[in-house]
Structure 1
């Protein structure tokens, strides 16, 4: 009996193999139309594949979107960093361009200076608040040859004088300083040269006051005001500013001209200290300090 069942299983296996080979051969041959069992199997298989692939693709797409979002976030951070770097670079380039222009102007001024030797210096600090318009400190001192009362200017014009000196720094008193001794011997350029003294500052309009002009003198708007060089300490013909208005004094004996400074007294970065090319007699310098400071 067991032998019979063993032979029966073997026969069923062989028949199954033969049927399978026959089906494979039948399916591989060229036909114009599939049989209905093949159609059923293919449709069933396709439906199952579609049922599985749809959520699979959705999940895969979700992970891909999350990955793209993460990449976008990282790229955004990198771009923001580049934008910040670019903003800093633009600010630095602008600052360097301004500094380059100022230095070019200073070099041009140096080339036209004949009666005094210019020494370049840089502003290293400035008095805050109330004294902002009065004092600055530069990086040149007595060890560099700087002396008290030397004139200081930018490429645009005069800004003040050296008030005090240390071995490596100097304090510069600006033209706008409200100091009674802060006076400048000045001259108006024109057909007839007129002399006066810069003393006082109109803080509201940011104008200098040129006093002591003759009452009958005819002044013109935008007329150039320069140092006279008569004080014996400062060189002459250094630009100070231009006339914007003229008024008579309270007694009607003289005129006062309001002068717009040629140099920007608010923003000062690079300056020149003017050293006279010829020696100055000590008596003249002392008299100048006591009376006419510049």
Structure 2
């Protein structure tokens, strides 16, 4: 026997290689059924794929869900911020719309009889004291804009007061609803009798102006409108002051006294008109006026 065939290890190795090549060649052939070794290997690999793949999928899904929750949280924060911004924008829009409406109203007071005898200075209410809410307001126009002490102040709803202090860029307006004011306003009732009297004082508890010095025989009733009479040339004739709420007599029974509900809502003022009387020469009044 040749020496080659006497080496058992070499023969076994050669036989194994031949078997392996034959097995690979057999596996590569197209056929419908797998051999039992192939089935064993295929099932074993499939089992371990299931064992290791399922936990990996669960872990990957868990982290994916965590990431989705984080994204939803961030989107929710952004959405809430947008909602807050929208609410603020809506509030700003409502405020601007209210100011625009108020300003627009101030440009339409031409129904007053002699309003053409006055120049109008539209001013914005810049400040008012909480304690003196119905007493005074501060507006954003002063000496630099030509404002002078004593000029009447109105809104589209009616007469509200007069300028009582002026600085360079702002002015103080004392309202007709100031109970401490000693201001007297010549007024008349708009009826066929044209009853005259004086607005003297304000009752804060009743929210009424006191219309005094009315002739005891004068005919005046609830609901009659009271306007400025123009006497004294301080205020334009025909500025609406309010409506008669009740009528009585003074303590001595010599004159009538009427309670007047103010026409202008002085508790909510955004813009006002400051009236400047025109003159024949310059078109404006050279000095402020005080008095009744």
TM-score, normalised to structure 1, is 0.85
- 1:172 has 2:173 as partner: yes
Q: Which residue of 1 aligns with 2:126?
A: 124
Match of 2:238 in 1: 237
SS at match of 2:192: coil
Matches within 5 A, 1:6-45: 6-25=10-29, 28-29=30-31, 31=32, 41-45=41-45
User: Residue 58 of structure 2 corresponds to which residue in structure 1?
Assistant: 58
Residue number in structure 1 paired with 2:255: 254
Check the 8 A contact 2:195/2:219 in 1, yes or no.
no
CA deviation profile, 1:227-266 (whole Å, cap 9, x unmatched): 1110221111111112222232222222222222121111
Change (3 A) 1:157 1:19: same
Provide closer, same or farther for how the CA distance between residues 42 and 13 of structure 1 changes in structure 2, counting only shifts above 3 A.
closer
What is the alpha-carbon root mean square deviation over aligned residues? 2.6
Equivalence map 1:115-194=2 (5 Å): 115-129=117-131, 131-194=132-195
Distance 1:275 1:7, change over 3 A: same
Whether the 8 Å CA contact 1:228–1:237 is kept in 2: the answer is: yes
Between the aligned partners of 1:234 and 1:101, the Cα distance in structure 2 is 25
Give, in whole Å, the separation in 2 of the partners of 1:39 and 1:194.
119
**Cα gap change, 1:37 to 1:215, in 2 (>3 Å):** farther
Are the counterparts in 1 of residues 195 and 220 from structure 2 also a CA contact under 8 Å? no
Question: How much does 1:12 deviate?
Answer: 1.0
Deviation at 1:127, TM superposition (A): 2.5
Out of 119-128 and 34-43, give the one that drifted further.
Answer: 34-43
Note closer, same or farther for the CA distance 1:219–1:53 as it changes in structure 2 (3 Å cut): farther
CA apart distance, 1:34: 5.9
Q: In structure 2, what is the Cα distance between the partners aligned to 1:164 and 1:61? A: 75
Partner Cα distance (2:48, 2:206) in 1: 88
Distance 1:50 1:216 in 2: 111
Greater shift, 179-188 or 222-231, is seen at 179-188
Q: Once the 2 structures are TM-superposed, how far is the Cα of residue 42 of structure 1 from its aligned partner?
A: 4.6
Structure (1 or 2) with the greater helix fraction: 1
- Output aligned runs, 1:186-225, within 5 Å: 186-225=187-226
